[in-house]
Amino acid sequence: MPTATAIRAALANGEMTCEEVARACIERIRERERAVQAWHFFDPDLAIAQARALDRVGQRGPLAGVPVGIKDIIETADMPTEYGSPIFLGARPARDATCVAMARNAGSVVMGKTVTTEFANFTPGKTRNPHDAARTPGGSSSGSAAAVAAGMVPLAIGTQTTASTIRPASFCGIHGYRPTFDDFGCSGVMEASHSLDTIGLFARSLDDIALFRDALLGVESIAIPAETPAPRIGFCRTHLWSRVDPDVQTIIERSVQTLADAGAQVTEVALPADFDEIASIHQRISGFEFTRSLAAEIEHHWNDISERLRAGRIADGHACSYEQYRAACDAAERMRTMLAPIADPFDVLVTAASTGEAPVGLDTTGDASMCLIWTTMYVPALSLPVLRGPNGLPLGLQVIGKRHHDRALFAAARWIENILSYEDAS
Amino acid sequence: MPTATAIRAALANGEMTCEEVARACIERIRERERAVQAWHFFDPDLAIAQARALDRVGQRGPLAGVPVGIKDIIETADMPTEYGSPIFLGARPARDATCVAMARNAGSVVMGKTVTTEFANFTPGKTRNPHDAARTPGGSSSGSAAAVAAGMVPLAIGTQTTASTIRPASFCGIHGYRPTFDDFGCSGVMEASHSLDTIGLFARSLDDIALFRDALLGVESIAIPAETPAPRIGFCRTHLWSRVDPDVQTIIERSVQTLADAGAQVTEVALPADFDEIASIHQRISGFEFTRSLAAEIEHHWNDISERLRAGRIADGHACSYEQYRAACDAAERMRTMLAPIADPFDVLVTAASTGEAPVGLDTTGDASMCLIWTTMYVPALSLPVLRGPNGLPLGLQVIGKRHHDRALFAAARWIENILSYEDAS
């Protein structure tokens, strides 16, 4: 599967038509879907009709002719949206979500709806890891990550409330991007937690991530330079480092050493003890808000909600008083203020994107520890597919930027990729 | 029309059934709707069915049996949602918006969908001011405000991105409440501007506002004490004071003097010169975000968008670069930081809720100047219907609290109302 950037070039040069691009994706889906199960809704005729329409009117827009997958908690006016729940079987929204409308306006072909965990929480869907069908692809944006990793589409949209983009990107060996909080409108994206949710993007190259972001934001596309200066890197294990597989700890530490050897200024960064509470803070905020967002389903469809969701996020939310919730929100805001001067001397922070390779088994989407801090901090993050785990499976390096400095994050990530991809290939 | 609090008492005492309450509202709607035109969708059978169901199962919840109106940019699973636009004629969402689900879970009867301006922007709907049919009810939550003011429902939900709750509350002579930004999830509420939107509440008493807020937030109902201590008041004319009708300036100044005479500690508060830019900052943020939120309609339904919206918010958005947008967001955030120490010595700030009485004519929803500052500052605000304008029409006093201290705002508002309602009656 070529990248979106390569597809754009081939289309612009007249080497391919949009229909041919769509057909290549459809072919790939037919080959791999049985093993991967990335799609919740897929109608090849609908995809081809969109591609033909683009061929007819002439391609316009930065994503013209590029197929994208859309996580099924994101609403689409021409396809069902079921939110990973049997409660919404066949539901069809009236409007496209903002990100879907922006993708279409940029010329992309919506290939279908990708599998999400139940309401973007913990109960997995059917999707398997394209690198090993016995392992989870991660979640909650399971289908979006797996579809891109399996070469079914070059781009896909997911969301992140805890680890739902960065973790599956790490497990599936692709690029995942969680933008600065509130940079993108989330209209038409089912809220899990309104003060933590963002959309998330998946792609097969860093250039594609930048292209995709600019298109969905409706701003001029600015390519990341091919060469960027060596960044100042803060290596931040976090207080949750003990959750990281020891072999993976070594792999991450070695990669950071490689970056230092290549000329990056690397400093170890510790977070203040206040951050020890962050998992419970995240749990309170997301639980309280989720039980409000899911109020109708909790009231009227209790039996159609999985036991895991009831006993997990919903029980968390019901156990959390408004005072506890507000205290958690205030604590999170204090930590954001605390993080700024800690991160300030660096261009980026670097850490693991997941606690290990994708675990064996499909009954969990993996450990969220390495992501929930950064999600709660509202900072942008990338998972770069530049590492291999002890079993030879993909492993992401997480690179974390500053709020609203997502382009600077991309520039630093470019340098890191140039070094580590070289290592990997050598 | 009794208040929600009174309806709850009558229902709890067995003096009325939910069906009787609903029928009384329906009767009132039948009497007044021709003149007021508050409703975009109203099906009495559906309302009665909800009320009967409540009577059958026994009333539960803090709003059990209380009829509410829902602004038509807020999605409802059992009624159409048309967003004030012909583009969505007959559209029917799959899920209730969070605030609708919370209202239903609290036991309320959804009476119907109230008129909104086009996509909650400037092009008015059909609604008229219940106090004078030649005047605007204000907007964009025109029908919600008018329905409550006309005694058709005790409670209604609107939204505010600029002045869309506080202004119509002022024009219609009812209580309007714009909560702290981000306190309520907005899932299922069409985004106008994701970094400015909140829901807004309308009621006929301060007690009802508190009851309604607690119910929609899913927290324990805590009544505002009947007597509260005299607050420290900052009287903030703002740099936009010259837009306020001179007679109204005098009325507001006199009411503030009354509060001082009654024992409030009143100090005049000026905002720093930076705030002079706030109207253009608000315009950039709302324009940029709105053109993304409305991306699909702009692309595919241009001819069904009003000329005023195209030439207004959409043109603003298209003229605003990402850099200008980000600079505006940063400036707004700096002002929020600046406001905190200015507001800190006071319990509340007080100013006009609108620049005057509801203007004559239905082609505009009025001047937003007195609200856009506070909207952009993310602070909670109330419009208290305690004043009369030069023509004897309603005029709100705006009382502004601190972020996340909405209950403290209610307590100060109680004291203010106790003084000024007394004045008004004497």
Question: What span, in angstroms and rounded, lies between the C-alpha atoms of A121 and A141?
Answer: 10
Catalytic residue among B85, B108, B164, B205: B164
User: Which token pair is A44?
Assistant: 């090849």
Q: What is the pLDDT of residues B289-305, one digit of tens each?
A: 999 999 999 999 999 99
How far A321 CA sits from the closest chain B CA (Å)? 8
* Cis amide bond preceding A140, omega within 30: yes
**Residue in B29, B110, B115 with CA at minimum distance from that of residue B71:** B115
pLDDT at B82: 98
Question: Is residue A271 within 8 Å of A383, Cβ to Cβ?
Answer: no
Q: What is the pLDDT of residues B186-241, one digit of tens each?
A: 999 999 999 999 999 999 999 999 999 999 999 999 999 999 999 999 999 999 99
User: Does the complex come out with an ipTM higher than 0.85?
Assistant: yes
Residue B356 distance to chain A (closest CA, Å): 34
Facing A296 at nearest CB: one of B101, B190, B194: B101
Q: According to the model, what pLDDT value does residue A218 have? A: 96
Low-confidence ranges of chain A (pLDDT < 70): 422-426
3-state secondary structure (DSSP) of residue B111 = strand
Q: Which of A160, A192, A190 is nearest to A176 (CA)?
A: A160
pLDDT digits (tens, 9 = 90+) for B234-289: 999 999 999 999 999 999 999 999 999 999 999 999 999 999 999 999 999 999 99
pLDDT of residue B306: 97
What residues of A are in contact with residue B296 (Cβ under 8 Å)? 77, 95-96, 100-101, 104-105
CB nearest to B186's CB, from A98, A102, A194 = A194
On whether any CB of chain A is under 8 Å from the CB of B249, the answer is no
| CA proximity to A125, closest of A159, A82, A154 | A82
Provide, as residue numbers in chain B, all residues whose Cβ is less than 8 Å from the Cβ of A326: 404
A91 touches chain B (CB under 8 A): yes
In the sheet with A381-388, reading across from the earlier edge strand, the strands are: A39-42, A109-114, A67-71, A155-160, A198-203, A175-178, A381-388, A394-400, A348-352, A232-235, A265-268
Chain A interface includes B227 (CB < 8 A): no
Cβ-based contacts of A329 with chain B (< 8 Å): 404
Interchain CB contact of A291 with B (< 8 Å): yes
Residues 6 or more apart whose Cβ sits within 8 Å of residue A194? A289, A293, B182, B185, B186, B187
CB of A104 within 8 Å of any CB in chain B? yes
Here the tokens at position B374 are 């506070």
Q: Reply yes or no on whether B140 is catalytic.
A: yes
* Low pLDDT (below 70) residues in chain B: 422-426
Query: Which of B108, B140, B144, B205 is flagged as catalytic?
Result: B140
- Under a CB-based contact definition with an 8 Å cutoff, are residues B216 and B177 in contact? no
CB-based contact B130:B156 (threshold 8 Å) = no
Give the distance, in angstroms, between the CA of residue B381 and the centroid of all CA atoms in the same chain.
9
Q: Strands B381-388, B175-178: parallel, antiparallel or unpaired by DSSP?
A: antiparallel
Domains along the sequence of chain A with CATH:
4-217 (3.90.1300.10)
Report the C-alpha gap between B141 and B159 in whole angstroms: 6
How far is B114 from B214, CA to CA, in rounded Å? 22
Q: How far is residue A31 from each of residues A24, A149, A262, B150, measured CA to CA in Å?
A: 11, 14, 41, 63
pLDDT value for B422: 56
Give B234→chain A minimum CA distance, Å: 25
Q: According to the model, what pLDDT value does residue A208 have?
A: 98
* Contact between B7 and B154 (Cβ < 8 Å): yes
